[in-house]
Amino acid sequence: MLFSGVYTAIVTPFRDGRIDEECFRALIDWQIEEGVSGLVPCGTTGESATLSHEEHKRVIEICVDQVRGRVKVMAGSGSNNTTEAINLTRFAKEVGADGALLITPYYNKPTQEGLYQHFAAIARAVDIPLVAYNVPGRTGCNMLPATVGRLAHEFANFVGIKEATANMSQCSDVISACPGDFCVLSGDDFTALPLLALGGSGVISVTSNIMPRAMADMVKAFMAGDLARARELHFRLMPVHHSMFVETNPIPVKTALTLMGRIGAEMRLPLCPLSPANQEKLEAALRKAGLL
């Protein structure tokens, strides 16, 4: 499969209101050293919703430049405006990204036909591997298996989906509806191992921002047939997964990276610092995992 393993939905560090490029490059190098298969800049975890178009492009550009082909880069380039998504995806291709991650259009709640037409337009316009991102809890719409299968069979460059429904029945139906080499990636750290067991190809992870080696080792263990080791790592990681979502992502993961000394504490409104009670929960989980 084109995209398999652990892809970190990497945070975007800020300093004094701007992208902290030096810090971002150091994070990228650490992720690669720890064994991830790829990086996803400008996803939800990268605060894409608060980046200007110029900043969005710059984050992708920095990531591709720093990676230098060592792992794959799947650039977040989606929008609820199809023309805007095409333009961002073209830019991702121009700077050398290996693929593009495209969120289903949010807020305008397209029909299944509208979703098909949106992704079909992008697939026709830009010859780069495309991965849809289905996250109904964020977008207000659910891309159904029949729509995914229709696109996967009609467009060779529509190669995968990030499924963040946490619905294993729907994930099973997606896998059944698509060609055998179609990449179904978990969009929820909690469901990475169950989805692998169904035939998924990996995970686009929040937790791997802070525990990249453990996440990578879990997936590698499963793929090597060592289910006992994969399960052990899955259950060890579960408290950390829960801590990453005590408040809206990416507030907890950026807080964790700050506590670990890897980034500054800055995030952009409307995101704001963790409440004291949730800060305690997060710190307890990080201590238990040996990160503090």
Output the six-digit token pair for 37.
């298969």
Distance (Å, rounded) from C-alpha 146 to C-alpha 262? 42
Cα–Cα distance measured from residue 227 to residue 161, given in angstroms and rounded to the nearest whole number: 24
Determine the Cα–Cα distance for residues 105 and 102; give it in Å rounded to an integer: 9
Which residue type sits at 198? L
144, burial (CB in 10 Å: exposed 0-12, middle 13-18, buried 19+): middle
Rg over alpha carbons for the chain, rounded to the nearest Å, is 18
Catalytic-residue membership of 162: yes
Q: Which of 57, 72, 116, 162 is catalytic?
A: 162
Using an 8 Å Cβ cutoff, are 207 and 244 in contact?
A: yes
Q: Which of the residues 72, 133, 254, 288 is marked catalytic?
A: 133
Q: Which DSSP string corresponds to 192-229?
A: HHHHHHHT--EEEESGGGT-HHHHHHHHHHHHTT-HHH
What CA–CA distance (Å, rounded) separates 185 from 175? 10
Per-residue HEC secondary structure of 6-73 comes to: EEECCCCCEECCEECHHHHHHHHHHHHHCCCCEECCCCCCCCHHHCCHHHHHHHHHHHHHHHCCCCEE
In angstroms, the first-to-last Cα distance of the chain is: 36
Active site residue 133: yes
- Residue 24 and residue 38: Cα distance in Å, rounded? 15
Other Cβ atoms within 10 Å of 244 Cβ, number: 26
Name which of 226, 251, 199, 281 is nearest 44 in CA terms.
251
Catalytic residues: 133, 162
